[in-house]
Amino acid sequence: MDNTPDREILERLLKLEQENYRILKALRSSQRWGVFWGFIKFLLLIIPLIIAYFYLQPYLQMIWATYEQAQGQLTNLQQLGAKIPDMGELLKQFQQARPQ
């Protein structure tokens, strides 16, 4: 009982399955490499940022301290300006006090 049409169909199916297996294996391999290279790209982006943060942190702290100091001085000047009378009022007082 040699069913040649059935046997031919089974052989063609076997060849198609083998080809599908090779294609799927290549796709899985490609996907793994894609994940690997994506991770490498991520590291190449993140590592310089971390290094830059640690390298620049002391300078950023100095800049921030200078900014806070300048802000404090500005607040002091504003408070001093509020204590000084208006220049128009000061001029009037000076003119009134001056003998004519």
| Cβ within 8 Å of residue 85, ≥6 positions away | 93
Residue 1 has pLDDT above 90, yes or no: no
Q: Which of 14, 29, 72 is nearest to 37 (CA)?
A: 29
Residue 94 has pLDDT above 60, yes or no: yes
What is the DSSP code string of 41-82? HHHHHHHHHHHHHHHHHHHHHHHHHHHHHHHHHHHHHHHHHH
Query: 23-70, pLDDT tens digit by residue?
Result: 999 999 999 999 999 999 999 999 999 999 999 999 999 999 999 999
Q: What is the pLDDT of residue 2?
A: 63
- Distance, in Å, from the CA atom of 22 to the CA atom of 24, rounded to the nearest integer, reads 6
